Amino acid sequence: MYSVNVVQSTAKKRARNRIGVRDRLQSKANELFSRHGYAVTAVRDVMEAASVVPRSFYDTFESKKELGLLYLRQKEMESMQDLKTLMEQYPEPVRLFRAWVLAKKRQIKKQEFFGCPFLRFALQMPEGDIEFQAQLKSVSTMWEKLLVDYLKQAVRLGHLPTTIDKTDLARKALAIYEGNISMWRISGQKAYLDLMPEMFEAVLNQR
């Protein structure tokens, strides 16, 4: 009986250690991918940051690619949840855009946001990688659907005219967001962030 208990206790301890190593590796990989990008982050960088030896890494993950896919999925969940929270608080589209900009500014100040993680990843991913492409396509599809559903609700609440093309407006909103975030990254000028609500309002006024 004693030997069985010892074996079970050892097995549980090893399982906990594996979970701890996995979480540590994923957390450090996410941090490095966000700050420095996927392409320039090597497996050895992740191992060093997580204080993990090669054997432990490859017992946990097959490759850097596996970490990259997990990173994209986590960022997708985080970005969707953040946007959903803002949408619940701001049912009027222009106010939503202003709140979105303020949220990004706060994240930048805390060094929690370094640009759109999906755009940065798309520019760095290996050419023709089907799995990465599928994951990124999923992100863009989900973002567009979330915005279209939000705009439908805005129409029902009387914030937008019933004749508005929700899909077209959602795509233009995403283009404004991605474009201005990219220009902020290129120039370092936060004025590009401030332009986002103004540009979105201009699109609305054209209708």
pLDDT at 126: 76
Domains of the chain: 1-61 (1.10.10), 69-207 (1.10.357.10)
User: Mean pLDDT per 10-residue run, the chain (207 residues)?
Assistant: 48 55 95 93 96 94 95 94 96 95 94 92 86 94 97 96 95 96 95 94 86
HEC assignment per residue over 61-130: CCCHHHHHHHHHHHHHHHHHHHHHHHHHHCCCHHHHHHHHHHHHHHHHHCCCCCCCHHHHHHHHCCCCCH
Distance CA 196, CA 173 (A): 9
pTM above the 0.85 mark?
Answer: no
Closest listed residue to residue 151, CA positions, set 159, 141, 140:
159
pLDDT at 2: 52
Give 58's contacts (C-beta < 8 A, 6+ positions apart): none
